[in-house]
Amino acid sequence: MASRNIQKAAQHVFVFVAIGTIWFLLGFTRFLRVVLDIYVLPGIPLTRFGAAKNKNQFGKGSWAVVTGATDGIGQEFALQLANKGFNIILLSRTAEKLTQVAQQIQKASPGIKTITHSIDFSAGDEAQYAVIKAALQDLDIGVLVNNVGASHAYPVPFAEMEEEEMLRIAEINVKATLRVTRIVSPGMVQRKRGLILNLGSFSGQYPVPLLATYSATKTFLISFSQALGEELRRSNVIVQNINAYFIVSKLSKIRRPSFFIPLPKAFVKQTLSKIGRQGGAAGRPSNSSVWPSHGLFDWLLTSTIAGSQALLRINYDNSFSIRKRALKKQSKTN
């Protein structure tokens, strides 16, 4: 009897050790993939999507569409895609800023063609979208960067936020992405090549209380990118949701870079050099997190407390602290 019990116990120990070993190996393999994606392996060359192969051919390549193209990340995508050999279509609200960015592109990348269209994405204006559709439908578009976005002025309880702000965020972050993608994607499918980049956020992967509307719109991008990516991969069109943490920009209201917070120029350069790589988003189809600190942080959260009450509580406390400081600053200026 005693020997039988010992034998059963040994079997149980073996099973637990085997399960633990498999779990460890799977985790280590994923971590290794994250590191290789971020630091070692190259991305898909942009020439696959129609970029001019050298500067002598500038102006003869395909087009790249960038929304929210007059500041920060959007502006950098426009400048760097032009430098890679794409003609650029700039979509943003302010005509004067669009002209300035177009001039920057033409100065930095002689020969590259630019088209600008002023559109207020918060308005959802049918006439404006009709103009854009007519302007783009005959162009060879190889890349779409859905960068335009809006957030809350500062964290706010959902039950207290202004309805106008709620609708504005949803219109810009969700409907604008859908509508521009719907205009551009049929041509990509027809040509059997294309790249669609959706600018996501950690707050979509890891929900943030007091930023509920913004957070939910970024979660939408994850689902949309994965579903669309599976549809379009059969036509050699790649869709990636760029899962980003904080970046120096007007939207984030952060002005100084740090280890965790890159400047737009560095972030965009890394993103374009790692097309097709997932980095810290390894295992999540059509998602990418390749800025080193963002990718490693993404991997760490996913491997530990992602989806837990603890992370929700941490995010709530952080949002509450930001809201408290913002209200205090606001009261001093009034």
- pLDDT at res. 30: 87
For residue 111, which phi and psi values (nearest 5 degrees)?
100, -25
- Residues contacting residue 188 through CB under 8 Å, at least 6 positions apart: 141, 142, 144, 194, 196, 232, 235, 237
Catalytic site residue 214?
yes
Q: Where are the domains of the chain?
A: 37-333
Q: Extract the annotated binding site for substrate.
A: 201
Please report where in the chains the tokens 């979208």 appear, as a residue. 129
The three-state (H, E, C) secondary structure of 39-92, written as one string:
HCCCCCCHHHHCCCCCHHHCCCCCEEEEECCCCHHHHHHHHHHHHCCCEEEEEE
Q: Which residue, among 320, 75, 84, has the nearest Cα to 209 in the 3D structure?
A: 320
- What CA–CA distance (Å, rounded) separates 90 from 70? 8
pLDDT in tens, the chain (334 residues): 556 666 665 666 666 666 767 766 677 788 999 999 999 999 999 999 999 999 989 989 999 999 999 999 999 999 999 999 999 999 999 999 999 999 999 999 999 999 999 999 999 999 999 999 999 999 999 999 999 999 999 999 999 999 999 999 999 999 999 999 999 999 999 999 999 999 999 999 999 999 999 999 999 999 999 999 999 999 999 999 999 999 998 777 788 899 999 999 999 999 999 999 999 999 999 999 999 999 999 999 999 998 899 999 999 999 999 999 999 988 887 6
pLDDT in tens, 306-318: 889 999 999 999 9
The single-letter DSSP state of residue 279 is B
For residue 221, which phi and psi values (nearest 5 degrees)?
-60, -35
Q: Which residue, among 154, 173, 158, 185, has the nearest Cα to 318 in the 3D structure?
A: 154
Output the furthest CA–CA distance in the chain (Å, rounded): 88
* 299, HSE (Cβ side, Cα atoms, 13 Å): 24
The structure tokens listed for 288 are 């990418």
3-state SS assignment for residue 277: coil
pLDDT in tens, 243-253: 999 999 877 77
- Chain mean position to CA 273: 15
Alpha-carbon torsion angle 231, 221, 178, 65, nearest 10 = -90
- What CA–CA distance (Å, rounded) separates 260 from 131? 40
CA angle in degrees (0–180, nearest 5) for 205-210-216: 35
- pLDDT at res. 279: 97
Burial of 202 (0-12, 13-18, 19+ CB in 10 A): buried
Catalytic residue among 129, 206, 214, 245: 214
- What CA–CA distance (Å, rounded) separates 97 from 44? 31
CATH 3.40.50.720 applies to domain 37-333: yes
Q: Alpha helix locations (H) across 233-291?
A: 264-273
The structure tokens listed for 275 are 């097309």
Is beta strand 194-199 parallel, antiparallel or unpaired with respect to 287-288?
Answer: unpaired
Q: Extract the annotated binding site.
A: 201
C-beta of residue 198 within 8 angstroms of C-beta of residue 146: yes
